[in-house]
Structure 1
Amino acid sequence: MVQLTAAADDGSKIEFTVSFSEPQAHYADVEMRISNIRKKEIEVSMPVWAPGSYLVREFSKNVEGFTASTNAGAALSSEKVKKNTWKIKTNGNKTVVVNYKVYAYEISVRTSFIDASHAFLSPTGIFMFVKDRLNEPVRVNITPFSNWSKVSTGLEKIEGTKFSYHAPDFDWLYDSPIEVGNQDIFEFDAAGVKHEVAMVGGGNYDKEKLKLDMAKIVEEETLIFRENPNKRYVFIVHHYQNGGGGLEHLNSTVLGAKRTGYTDAATYTNFLSLVAHEYFHLWNVKRLRPIALGPFDYENENYTTDLWIAEGFTAYYDNLIIQRTGAISEIDYLKILQAEINLIANQRGDKVQAVTEASFDAWIKYYRPNENSSNATISYYNKGALLAAMLDLAIIHKTNANKSLDDVLRNTYQEYYKKKGRGFTSKEFKEALEKEYGENLDEFYNKYVNGTAEVDCAKFLAYAGLELVNRANPKMPSLGVRTRKNIISTVIRGGAAWNGGLNVNDEIIAVNGERVEDINDYIKTKAVGENLMIVLNRDGIIQTLNIKLAASTDKSLQIDIMKKQTEQQKAVFKKWMKM
């Protein structure tokens, strides 16, 4: 671990101490010591969201027992003036000590969780800030509970201390999750970087295998950008009976994993894809980023139309990277891409919401889906990944296999992060794509990025000697619903149920005088155009609707390798797969 000398920490005038007097009740005790005060009043606030997860989560809802005092312990007057802000009268004191407790019992990669076995501290939900002092250095002291003996974090350790850490400013602090407990820790070196892996909650993992496979991912991703910006990186992996998800940070990440999943091939592959995704964010998002994503406003939404690049491109590369490392074959990768294409093609929201709009509306839609979301929205992850794949193929084809999307990301990383020290605008990223492609991409953007036209995947796949075939049965009848035990969970836009008046939460009791156990199985025995007399329960009232079955419009798209390929198509495929 990189260590700072004590002298390097002398500039910290804001210091936190976190302890755990009642971990079994899921509480952290936080002391915030603020020095060098020159005002009669100061305000301290809790962030409302966690960067990387674009939803206002109102972390201050978990704060209890806020008090303020002098350095000598005398009480100071304080009052809550906003949902996440407290005002303190300093009475001329240059040092103020704030104490509060945080309740932490939400399992996710973006929220804090504390129990008798360990504490995971997601910083934006633990540490308050002084309104005008976000740029100041911070010291964090951790006092582990009872028999807890380890701390894992990307923060730099202060020399001569056991569990004290330094952050150059609050942006760095808020980007450095902390794991406290008895986690199983192992290390590996890759791309000149020391990597710590903190495994929490047990699991049937093979450390030596993970070291090799994770190192391959690190090396392969570093090859794209030709440098790794860290000297040390920390993986915090939380294990559950069933788990998943991840959240990126500047020099660390938090991952969720299935405790017993490491010996199942498919589950293990998914875990490696998650590792590849979050590690790729080390460059894309944390450094190469839309201009709105940093420095952050921690009290309000930070809007951008470019999450389809920030998250979507990363979602494209995660599976591509594990293919490049040999964890999956080229055919396996094509099956993953095929599933992505079908997901987008069969989601009605793709014809309603542009991927740029989906990016902008993440704050109100993506993390708050409802029963109509599939009809009205599209995921900037999935759609962004699909567009990245098509752009990659287009660039490789247009440049006769000399360039790829790798070049775009590497060059924009150098231009905006390294040289200009800022994020890119939407216009600038489009120009970067066009520079490698060799001509403008207005049509692509108008149709697929800012518009809702169906992506012509067949055209782009053909560049690599692949064809896209729809193998759906055009005579397949469809009611146009998704159900759970015959209770409707989704009514699909434009389908028979949509037009006929069926609602979400309707319980289907009988059809054509017959008791029906599974409506979708029942429909398979019918024909397009047949009338169904459906008896349903809607909020305790029995109703009957007549609905005519429509033909299913769902696609079943399959990627096939062309029997005859040109030399250029072979070259594009080889470049794409890095063969």
Structure 2
Amino acid sequence: MDEAQTHYFDVQMKVSGYKHPYIDFKMPVWTPGSYLVREYARNVEAFTARTTKGGAAKSEKINKNTWRVYSNNSDEVEVSYRVYAFEISVRTPFLDASHGYIQPAAVFMFVKDLMNTPGTVTVKPYKNWNQLSTGLSQVGNNKFALKFPDYDVLVDSPIEIGTHKVLEFSVRNVPHRVAMYGEGNYDEKRLVADMKRIVEETVKIFDEIPYEHYTFIVHNLPAGGGGLEHLNSTTLQTGRWNYGTETGYKGFLGLVSHEFFHLYNIKRIRPKVLGPFDYENENYTTLLWVAEGVTSYYDDHLLLRANLVDADDYLNTATGNIGTIENAPGNKVQSVAESGFDAWIKYYRPNENSNNTTISYYTKGAVVGMLLDLEIMNSTQGKQSFDDVLRYLYQEYYKKQKRGFTEAEMQAAVEKVAGKKLDDFFQKHIYGVEQPDYNKYLGYVGLKLLNYSEGKNDAYLGAATSMSNGKLNVTSVMRGTAAYQYGLNVNDEIIAVDNYRVGENLNQFISNKKPGDKVAILINRGGILQTLDITLGKNPNASYGMQRVANASPQQEALLQKWLRLTEN
């Protein structure tokens, strides 16, 4: 990275002892944990090759991500190439004069036959950079020399290089490091203590730490956020001033909780098709509701277990998740299993109609994970929970069989712990789109779900809008609403309603109407003015809350105490 300000990593890759007429060097098209073909080869240039036999070797690109080097059975081949890295995300590499971040799938090529071969990476840092943080182990005492047992581990180990601060803590005598790139308004002592509590509570579930050291790479940025899990590390991105409010700080802790929990759930407990990976094609699974959704359930619940949020905070989050999915028309169209399978073409490529046709396997998965947890607790009188499902999957498939699980095996694991068949639940709520009877499951712990919108008769248009350059533009139209029925389109500019200019006051204008009222909406569509006569409907959105049932039974109260950690379990 000699010229970091130009955003180029210079990569040299040497292969020894692999004698063939030619060798194909390949760049992955995606990175595990982020289910979209990203075409990393688009940032590669200046590919050249040399052999020990004759110096420069002929090479040609034979498809979008493969460079063929005619090595003529040479004992050693070295290729060189450059990677442009100027997209700051957890899925892409980045380099500028302040730091370098290597997302390995986007920087390091592979040779198919050698993917199980160990190797080393030597990093030559820019100028005065003196820090390197990664999940890889170093060679000897040189922090810039790293070793890997196979290509999968290399891809699973992002590398942060620069002058960043490193915070440390230990859990069960295992070191955990936090690489903090960029300034932020965090309290070091509080942050380290709270991250440690999250790790401790997660480890309690499995009673085992399956790594020798763990690295959190944190990018403190002007804005944005996100995370990506890895085998014994994670990359987290957050706004540098988010730590200053309780909402922002707890949001970051939730991200920490989510990505750390992944080291068990998906990096070790995983759907069978997600490993070994095909780095050149989509890897389809209907089980992202487990990998991501159940993790989303646990990331919130672990904050509760760690006493970083209270029971009311947790229930508000759970209620919000229910509202999010039940108010999305796509929840009646796409099952949570389908949502995961189609992530490659839908989740990461949303458009203005996505809310009408898709559902998030994160949010829906968190909700069904919660309901299954409550079902297990009720069926076993509080002796078992979803923790036991995860422990079983960990022991049986990761440790004993050393593989991932299938759809049938996942359902069987839940049924084994619950002590009952759950075909009805899985068919209706995992593979189907039927609304769960929330009060049945919440009733197990003496709670009930209330819809505060019930009985209200508010008028509703059904179009989301935004102001841009003084114009009110339609950004989405909700299926089944008046806007949808009468043909209001995305990108229409709304000028007036009933001959009155509305601008940002559109919602206020509609709120003064009632269902069945007719309105004349003047729009600009592609430079043509036209009026749409629309009959307003009733607001279909629910506003949920939870409260305790009256006269809860001793079992309901005991399960509530256990679930919400109101007493020691």
TM-score (normalised: structure 2): 0.97
How many equivalent residue pairs? Answer: 560
1:183 to 149, 153, 164: 164
Provide the rounded CA distance (Å) in 2 between the counterparts of 1:311 and 1:558.
25
In structure 1, what residue type is equivalent to 2:258?
A: H
Provide the rounded CA distance (Å) in 2 between the counterparts of 1:98 and 1:528.
69
**In the alignment, is residue 321 of structure 1 matched against residue 302 of structure 2?**
yes
SS in structure 1 at match of 2:342: helix
Check conservation: 1:191, 1:218, Cα contact below 8 A. Answer: no
Provide the rounded CA distance (Å) in 2 between the counterparts of 1:440 and 1:539.
56
Provide the rounded CA distance (Å) in 2 between the counterparts of 1:82 and 1:151.
34
SS in structure 2 at match of 1:292: coil
2:76 to 95, 99, 108: 95
Which residue in 2 is equivalent to 1:47?
28
Provide the rounded CA distance (Å) in 1 between the counterparts of 2:426 and 2:217.
38
For residues 74 and 448 of structure 1, do their structure 2 counterparts lie closer, same or farther at Cα, with a shift above 3 Å needed?
A: same
Deviates more, 1:184-193 or 1:476-485: 184-193
CA shift at 1:168, angstroms? Answer: 0.0
**In the alignment, is residue 430 of structure 1 matched against residue 417 of structure 2?**
no
Which residue in 1 is equivalent to 2:466?
484
Which residue in 2 is equivalent to 1:533?
520
**In the alignment, is residue 407 of structure 1 matched against residue 388 of structure 2?**
yes
Which residue in 2 is equivalent to 1:15?
none
Which residue in 2 is equivalent to 1:16?
none
Check conservation: 1:478, 1:528, Cα contact below 8 A. Answer: yes
Which residue in 1 is equivalent to 2:532?
545
Q: How does 1:134-533 map to 2 (within 5 A)?
A: 134-472=115-453, 474-485=456-467, 486-517=472-503, 518-533=505-520
In structure 1, what residue type is equivalent to 2:271?
A: P
SS in structure 2 at match of 1:106: strand
In structure 2, what residue type is equivalent to 1:294?
A: G
Cα deviation, 1:395-415, whole Å, max 9, x if unaligned, reads: 111111111111111111100
In structure 2, what residue type is equivalent to 1:307?
A: L
Percent identity of the aligned residues? Answer: 50
2:542 to 534, 545, 555: 555
Cα deviation, 1:435-458, whole Å, max 9, x if unaligned, reads: 111111011011100000112212
Provide the rounded CA distance (Å) in 1 between the counterparts of 2:414 and 2:72.
57
In structure 1, what residue type is equivalent to 2:514?
A: A
Provide the rounded CA distance (Å) in 2 between the counterparts of 1:540 and 1:45.
49
In structure 2, what residue type is equivalent to 1:80?
A: K
Which residue in 2 is equivalent to 1:28?
9
Provide the rounded CA distance (Å) in 2 between the counterparts of 1:462 and 1:160.
58
Check conservation: 1:474, 1:553, Cα contact below 8 A. Answer: no
Which residue in 2 is equivalent to 1:12?
none
In structure 1, what residue type is equivalent to 2:14?
A: R
Provide the rounded CA distance (Å) in 1 between the counterparts of 2:315 and 2:76.
61
CA shift at 1:110, angstroms? Answer: 1.1
In structure 2, what residue type is equivalent to 1:188?
A: F
In structure 1, what residue type is equivalent to 2:478?
A: I
Provide the rounded CA distance (Å) in 1 between the counterparts of 2:394 and 2:156.
20
Provide the rounded CA distance (Å) in 2 between the counterparts of 1:51 and 1:276.
19
Check conservation: 2:132, 2:143, Cα contact below 8 A. Answer: no
SS in structure 2 at match of 1:221: helix
Check conservation: 1:244, 1:257, Cα contact below 8 A. Answer: yes
CA shift at 1:73, angstroms? Answer: 7.8
In structure 2, what residue type is equivalent to 1:540?
A: G
SS in structure 1 at match of 2:219: strand
Check conservation: 1:76, 1:88, Cα contact below 8 A. Answer: yes
Check conservation: 2:195, 2:253, Cα contact below 8 A. Answer: yes
SS in structure 1 at match of 2:86: coil
- Aligned Cα root-mean-square deviation (Å): 1.0
SS in structure 2 at match of 1:464: coil
SS in structure 1 at match of 2:113: coil
Check conservation: 2:139, 2:147, Cα contact below 8 A. Answer: yes
SS in structure 1 at match of 2:46: strand
Provide the rounded CA distance (Å) in 2 between the counterparts of 1:71 and 1:508.
69
CA shift at 1:92, angstroms? Answer: 3.0
Check conservation: 1:112, 1:122, Cα contact below 8 A. Answer: yes
Provide the rounded CA distance (Å) in 1 between the counterparts of 2:53 and 2:408.
55
Provide the rounded CA distance (Å) in 2 between the counterparts of 1:161 and 1:334.
48
Check conservation: 1:192, 1:231, Cα contact below 8 A. Answer: no
SS in structure 2 at match of 1:440: coil
Cα deviation, 1:38-95, whole Å, max 9, x if unaligned, reads: 1011100000001000000000000010000124782110000000000010123211
Provide the rounded CA distance (Å) in 1 between the counterparts of 2:193 and 2:143.
30
In structure 2, what residue type is equivalent to 1:505?
A: N
Provide the rounded CA distance (Å) in 2 between the counterparts of 1:496 and 1:257.
39
Q: How does 1:70-81 map to 2 (within 5 A)?
A: 70-71=51-52, 74-81=55-62
CA shift at 1:192, angstroms? Answer: 3.3
SS in structure 2 at match of 1:364: helix
Check conservation: 1:396, 1:572, Cα contact below 8 A. Answer: yes
Provide the rounded CA distance (Å) in 2 between the counterparts of 1:193 and 1:126.
29
TM-score (normalised: structure 1): 0.95
Check conservation: 1:313, 1:384, Cα contact below 8 A. Answer: yes
Check conservation: 2:53, 2:74, Cα contact below 8 A. Answer: no
Check conservation: 2:102, 2:160, Cα contact below 8 A. Answer: yes
Provide the rounded CA distance (Å) in 2 between the counterparts of 1:71 and 1:100.
18
Check conservation: 1:531, 1:547, Cα contact below 8 A. Answer: yes
SS in structure 2 at match of 1:107: strand
Check conservation: 1:470, 1:557, Cα contact below 8 A. Answer: yes
For residues 496 and 569 of structure 1, do their structure 2 counterparts lie closer, same or farther at Cα, with a shift above 3 Å needed?
A: same
Provide the rounded CA distance (Å) in 2 between the counterparts of 1:374 and 1:490.
9
In structure 1, what residue type is equivalent to 2:382?
A: A
Provide the rounded CA distance (Å) in 2 between the counterparts of 1:422 and 1:259.
39
SS in structure 1 at match of 2:157: coil
Which residue in 1 is equivalent to 2:91?
110
Check conservation: 2:492, 2:525, Cα contact below 8 A. Answer: yes
SS in structure 1 at match of 2:347: coil
Cα deviation, 1:122-176, whole Å, max 9, x if unaligned, reads: 0000000012111100210000000111110111100143410000000000000
Structure 2: 5+ residue runs without aligned partners? none
Check conservation: 1:191, 1:222, Cα contact below 8 A. Answer: no
Provide the rounded CA distance (Å) in 1 between the counterparts of 2:564 and 2:397.
27
Provide the rounded CA distance (Å) in 2 between the counterparts of 1:161 and 1:475.
69
CA shift at 1:230, angstroms? Answer: 1.0
Which residue in 2 is equivalent to 1:120?
101
In structure 2, what residue type is equivalent to 1:575?
A: K
SS in structure 1 at match of 2:362: helix
